[in-house]
């Protein structure tokens, strides 16, 4: 075929080729647009819920005598200026920032500040606190504590082997027994429950590392 005829044949096909290219490009655009539209209509995956500070049954147990579990708020040692603005997730506190201070007795004469309570719990000690003017109740609680306090306070409290009894006028219940991240509220001196709680959590290094 002469070159002039080939050129004429190609020129006659060019509009058709151009139309096909345009139609093809348009179809690709439509398909891609539909895919993007379906993706935008699909609800995004929901993030995992944040850890709750709502109390729950004691970790690794469903026994109510072993107290209520409160998520750990950490072990940080803070200055007083920082602690004044901090809110613990339980009352009395069971974990969280605190000052690195001990007390000199298993039976302090005055209520213990929150930041000292937390430090004592961090070491594995148990606190029994009461909210009443009740010598008989205090005597019973101290008797229970003495059955566990076999070391001098300077040793027992440092090693997490102490049971402390103290007054606390801010308690929501008559008696509260606390360990690290655990809290047991009582309306009377239930010796069986108190001793069971102490036996479970006293000097529990694994518990106090949470």
For residues 118 and 130, give the distance between their C-alpha atoms in angstroms, rounded to a whole number: 17
Total length of the chain = 210
What per-residue confidence (pLDDT) applies to 31?
55
For residues 168 and 113, give the distance between their C-alpha atoms in angstroms, rounded to a whole number: 9
Kindly report, residue by residue over 79-133, the tens digit of the pLDDT: 777 778 788 899 999 999 888 889 999 999 999 999 999 999 999 999 999 999 9
* 153 contact partners, CB below 8 Å, separation of at least 6: 103, 104, 105, 106, 162
Lowest mean pLDDT among 6-20, 54-68, 79-93, 128-142: 6-20
Strand 126-130 versus strand 163-167 pairing type: parallel
The per-residue pLDDT of the chain, averaged, comes to 80
């Amino acid at each position: 075929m002469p070159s002039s005829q080939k050129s004429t044949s190609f020129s006659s096909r060019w509009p058709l080729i151009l139309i096909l290219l345009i139609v093809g490009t348009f179809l690709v655009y439509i398909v891609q647009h539909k895919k993007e539209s379906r993706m935008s209509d699909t609800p995004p995956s929901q993030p995992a819920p944040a850890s709750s500070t709502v109390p729950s049954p004691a970790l690794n147990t469903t026994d109510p005598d072993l107290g209520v579990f409160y998520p750990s708020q950490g072990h940080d040692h803070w200055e007083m200026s920082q602690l004044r603005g901090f809110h613990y997730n339980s009352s009395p506190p069971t974990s969280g920032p605190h000052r690195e201070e001990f007390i000199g007795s298993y039976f302090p004469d005055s209520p213990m500040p929150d930041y000292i309570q937390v430090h004592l719990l961090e070491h594995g000690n148990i606190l029994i606190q009461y909210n009443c003017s009740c010598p008989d109740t205090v005597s019973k609680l101290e008797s229970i504590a003495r059955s566990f306090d076999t070391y001098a306070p300077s040793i027992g409290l440092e090693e997490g082997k102490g049971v402390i009894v103290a007054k606390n006028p801010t308690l929501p219940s008559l008696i509260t027994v606390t360990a690290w991240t655990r809290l047991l509220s009582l309306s009377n001196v239930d010796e069986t429950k108190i001793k069971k709680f102490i036996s479970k959590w006293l000097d529990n290094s694994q518990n106090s590392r949470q």
